[in-house]
Amino acid sequence: MRMILLDRVTKTYNSKGQALERINLHVEDKEFVVIVGPSGAGKSTLLKLLTREEKPTSGKIIVGGIDYERLRDKDVPFLRRKIGVVFQDFKLLSNRTVFENVAFALEIVGMGNKEIRHTVPKVLDIVGLKGKGESYPSELSGGERQRVAIARAIVRQPKILIADEPTGNLDPKHAWDVIRVLEKINRYGTTVLLTTHNKEIVDKLKRRVVTIKDGKIVEDKARAEYRV
Ligand code: ADP
């Protein structure tokens, strides 16, 4: 099944030029795709179109069978439950524990306490943070914080996980811990989109690599090497 379809998608923010120009991209269910490209290439714009933070100037976007042209504003929260996102800077709540950070994502969709207490430890286990539930983010390493952010992003079982430079602030060992967790989540059946500037990660991952430059996809290769 096709999870993501972009058909001739163009995004123009202002008269200075096009952030994305007639992008065609198909991603299958359960694929792991690495998106690379120099700063300003259009990677974040592409991710923001998928999460509906931005709307395309023209072109078609269909994600998990949802045609964005037909999506009403009130359906956007429903869409966002299908897409988990993690960022370079983690975006955790510093005054809440690890457990509470993850639980929060379930509280806002109305899950009851009993189910939350059952679900959160399972997800912390997946990201390798069993037993860290009562810690505060400040007590964790950068790699552990990013794995809390991943736990929060996947706890509602999204179809797609978007990881936007998740290793940008991490040293190599912690970066690989995070990448291994993304691979595990992908093995469990979630489509993963990863942006990174880390050449070693791209080369060792041996996954499909989509290269964006000046708003265009200039290369789309299975198991490609990094060439920006
Ligand atoms: P990347 O994530 O690859 O660094 P971006 O998608 O952030 O690239 O940016 C692509 C282009 O769009 C750049 O020229 C950038 O300046 C421009 N751009 C991004 N966001 C905005 C915005 N909100 N308003 C105007 N221009 C933007």
Q: What is the pLDDT of residues 137-196, one digit of tens each?
A: 999 999 999 999 999 999 999 999 999 999 999 999 999 999 999 999 999 999 999 999
121 domain residue, yes or no: yes
Tell me if 19 CB under 6 Å of ligand 1.
Answer: yes
Return the pLDDT at 225. Answer: 62
Tell me if 37 CB under 6 Å of ligand 1.
Answer: yes
141 domain residue, yes or no: yes
> How many domains, in total, are found in the chain?
1
**pLDDT of 228 higher than 60:** no
148 domain residue, yes or no: yes
205 domain residue, yes or no: no
Tell me if 39 CB under 6 Å of ligand 1.
Answer: yes
Mean of per-residue pLDDT scores for the chain: 94
Residue 173 CA to ligand 1 center (angstroms) comes to 30
Return the pLDDT at 17. Answer: 78
147 domain residue, yes or no: yes
Residue 2 forms beta bridges with which residues? 28
State the average pLDDT over residues 3-24. 94
Rounded to 5°, the CA angle 44-47-48 comes to 85
106 domain residue, yes or no: yes
Q: What is the pTM of this model?
A: 0.94
* Radius of gyration of the chain, Cα coordinates, nearest whole angstrom: 17
Using an 8 Å Cβ cutoff, are 194 and 35 in contact? yes
Using an 8 Å Cβ cutoff, are 166 and 142 in contact? no
Tell me if 147 CB under 6 Å of ligand 1.
Answer: no
Nearest CA to ligand 1 atom 15: 40
Range of the domain at 129: 95-157
